[in-house]
Structure 1
Amino acid sequence: MSSCGTTFTCDVDFILKSEECIQAFLKFCKQSKTKYKPSRSMALALKLMTRLHNGTLDVTLPNGKTVRFKGEEDGPTARISIHNDRVVNRFISQGKLGFCEAYLDGDWTSPDLTAFFEIILKNESYLIHMLEGSTWYRRLSWLIHKFRPNSKKGASKNIYRHYDLGNHFYSQWLDKSMTYSSAVFKSGKETLEEAQAQKYRLMCERLDLQENHHLLEIGCGWGGMAEYAAKNIGCKVTAITISPSQYDYAKKRIDEANLQHLVEIKLCDYRDIKGKYDRIASIEMFEAVGEAYWPVFFETIKKKLKKNGLANLQIITIEEESYDSYKSTADFIQRYIFPGGMLPCQSVLERQIEGSGLEISNHVSFGKDYAKTLHIWHQAFQEKWPDLQGGAKDERFKKLWEEYLCYCEAGFKVGTIDVIQISMKNVGR
């Protein structure tokens, strides 16, 4: 441990059980000419940060002094400025959720949110006691989440909070195809629009989609997949959404493309689908279904697929080792972005599919492509913000979306979350 100038360095091998680290830090802060007096919780939090194992983190304190934490292993380098001691109390008591909320309140800032979240996620197992928060707060968060069920009424309400921010809002920073899901990059030189088309192509290939097929798309968004399948395959498509704004946009899109004879857009819950289909596609809709309704979702696919029919779903998954703790509380994304949502780990997902009587064929994963997709979205969001702000879209709203996009990008880069396309077959009736 060393103190020099305006930087105080704690190496990871200096993890003391005594008061020495705290006292050294307090002494260091007294050197400042400001009136800042750090709380013991701040000193304790910084002592716990000596557990950092991967990467380098520079923490600038309210008095302008910087503490550097350097792990044993190389990794991302990030900086964070803490503007008051309140953020530490929220971090300790409320874990990652409280810390993310503190960002919205201006308690801390970072010039590179993605790099900061990468460090936190890479070191999650070493900082687990800080990141989890108190037991009572985890239970409270879990209860709040459970009171946002994805029943038919609840699903419409939950989806409205996210997707009905307005078509103009999304059109400003998504690509021209209005696709709000991971793209597939092959060469790495593609534009986002080209990479999104490659994703649609992959969906069609994995479905072995033919001109004589009738495709059902569950959760059609703004109609990108439906338009692609009709234009490029020539098949019939029934596409459903429960978002009124998406329905209006998708319907107009199909009309303008003169594809009404092939594509029908419906404002419909997946539980109310009529008829049987040769193929079923769903792109990142499953995350909004909710754990309690997973069996119903796959039973619906089973019932609506013709015998030997194929389904291909694009789904975000969470790493196996994090699943149990993840499902026991509600994280920042579930609280503020996708209320009622839930990610599966792959083993649980496969059990749900097989439990419905569907036979899994195979899957492909491309989490790093999602990290790149999110990075492009974030850049576009920042560039377009002057045209987006106004009304309810204030500075706090901007911070919320920045945090969401960067947190997810970091998750896909580190591998705590992944995205897969998984194919299945109805081998029964």
Structure 2
Amino acid sequence: MAKQRTTNTSDALGQLKWLTPENVGAALKGLPLKVQAALRAAAHLPRGTLTITTPDQRIFKVGGKASGPDAALVLHNWNLPRRAFSSGTIGVAESYMDGDWESPDVTTFLELFVVNNQIGETIAGGTNWFVNTVQRLRHWLNENTRSRSRKNISAHYDLGNAFYREWLDPTMTYSSALFAEGANDLETAQTTKYRALARNIGITRDSKVLEIGCGWGGFAEFAAREIGARVTGLTISREQFDFATERMRKAGLSDKVEIKFQDYRDETGKYDHIASIEMFEAVGEKYWPVFFGKVKECLAPGGSAGMQIITINENSFERYRKRPDFIQRYVFPGGMLPTPEKLKSLGRDFGLDLYRESIFPQDYARTLAEWRERFWGSWDKLKHLGFDSRFKKLWEFYLYYCEAGFRSEYIDVRQVFYRS
């Protein structure tokens, strides 16, 4: 339960004032209209608490009857409510990057509005029709044709291998780890994830394996070295291709692993097994059937495929697909998360039987928290690579935002396994 509160509405600076639906009108007189609207909505918060310090040093607190995140927000000016109302999560992110606001725990602040979804939509739903239209158009222009896919992937993954090497673990794995029993550090947990995927796919010695979206080669190296599989890895990131190719050469695995700079749509080989780790999110909704059709085409009869995919809950999907969010604007242009049901229906449509799945969103929340700490710890080195303070705030918000989504289980991550 939330803490007992009074309805004191004193205007003394620095004195905390609880806002309730009953007293909120009197307490907010004189504040900008967008701020008043945001705080009126927040006063109906059903879960958790939020303490807000305003630019004029007034302190408001809102809270629901049910337990939930205990968050704090410090406004340096009045821009956040206006930008949130206008542009949704993109506005919230840009406001953070511009220094309009801060929080001692940004993840918890964002999580509060995820678990209080209706209030979050009221405040940060992005109500400006022109802004929303521009964002939808921008997302449409990032559609993942063959040529556009390379540009979209390059926007994120070709920041440079040196950038990612500074804060990823030694396996150079940029996807959720699996913190199973005994996997208490990030590197071990990433290997545990690889092992679970390979085991449930059924990869054995000399299996012929296709990996769609091989990244920097972590899974391909694991499957070849630890199991003895023969792996073909596909990537459309030039930086990843160069790194993974050299990685296999140094590991003495060039005879077992071939890295190809190639779009998955151009693959024509037949394979015993197919693996794909957090690549499907970048495919784009229009091309989901194309992806599953290619998996079916490239699997030998009786073959199996395993994918690790981030999904969004069914109830939120329609609104999400109509209104591009911060991730689609700044981090993964052209991307789209599927729902769990969509993964099942796509499998059925292409004769792929989904025979097993495992779900581990809290492992992703932990992975993101560890990445954030490693990113902060590497910032002095990253600055010397040419990244500025605004870029730092963009990446901070990205990691906070995703962690909040997984902690609240608004989104999750799962490994899904199909048989041909």
TM-score calculated relative to the size of structure 2: 0.95
Which of residues 148, 153, 157 in structure 2 aligns to 1:154? Answer: 148
RMSD: 1.4
> How many residues are paired up?
411
Which of residues 21, 24, 47 in structure 2 aligns to 1:21? Answer: 24
Which of residues 377, 389, 397 in structure 1 aligns to 2:391? Answer: 397
Which of residues 356, 366, 371 in structure 1 aligns to 2:350? Answer: 356
For 1:261-280, list aligned pairs within 5 A: 261-280=255-274
Q: Is the alpha carbon distance of 1:326 and 1:399 closer, same or farther for their aligned partners in structure 2, counting shifts above 3 Å?
A: same
Aligned to 2:66: 73
| Contact 1:320/1:345 (8 A) holds in 2 | yes
**C-alpha distance in structure 2 between counterparts of 1:70 and 1:45, whole Å:** 14
| Contact 1:226/1:263 (8 A) holds in 2 | yes
| Contact 1:317/1:346 (8 A) holds in 2 | yes
Aligned to 2:419: 425
Aligned to 1:10: 18
Post-superposition Cα deviations, 1:344-392, rounded to whole Å, max 9, x if no partner, equal: 0111121122112211112110111000000100000011111101475
Aligned to 1:284: 278
Q: Is the alpha carbon distance of 1:126 and 1:86 closer, same or farther for their aligned partners in structure 2, counting shifts above 3 Å?
A: closer
Q: Post-superposition shift, 1:109?
A: 1.1
Q: Is the alpha carbon distance of 1:25 and 1:332 closer, same or farther for their aligned partners in structure 2, counting shifts above 3 Å?
A: same
- Aligned: 1:99 with 2:107: no
For 1:270-419, list aligned pairs within 5 A: 270-390=264-384, 393-419=387-413
Q: Post-superposition shift, 1:55?
A: 1.1
Q: Is the alpha carbon distance of 1:127 and 1:275 closer, same or farther for their aligned partners in structure 2, counting shifts above 3 Å?
A: closer
Aligned to 2:242: 248
Q: Post-superposition shift, 1:105?
A: 1.2
Q: Structure 1 residues 291-300 or 203-212, which shifts more? A: 203-212
TM-score calculated relative to the size of structure 1: 0.93
| Contact 2:305/2:418 (8 A) holds in 1 | yes
Post-superposition Cα deviations, 1:169-190, rounded to whole Å, max 9, x if no partner, equal: 0011100000000011113762
- Aligned: 1:196 with 2:190: yes
Which of residues 163, 167, 173 in structure 2 aligns to 1:173? Answer: 167
Q: Post-superposition shift, 1:135?
A: 5.2
Aligned to 1:33: none
- Letter matched to residue 166 of structure 1: G
| Contact 1:167/1:245 (8 A) holds in 2 | yes
Q: Post-superposition shift, 1:76?
A: 1.6
**C-alpha distance in structure 2 between counterparts of 1:392 and 1:329, whole Å:** 32
- Letter matched to residue 25 of structure 1: L
Aligned to 2:50: 57
**C-alpha distance in structure 1 between counterparts of 2:195 and 2:64, whole Å:** 43
**C-alpha distance in structure 1 between counterparts of 2:217 and 2:104, whole Å:** 36
Could you list the runs of 5+ residues in structure 1 that have no partner in the other structure?
27-36
Could you list the runs of 5+ residues in structure 2 that have no partner in the other structure?
1-6
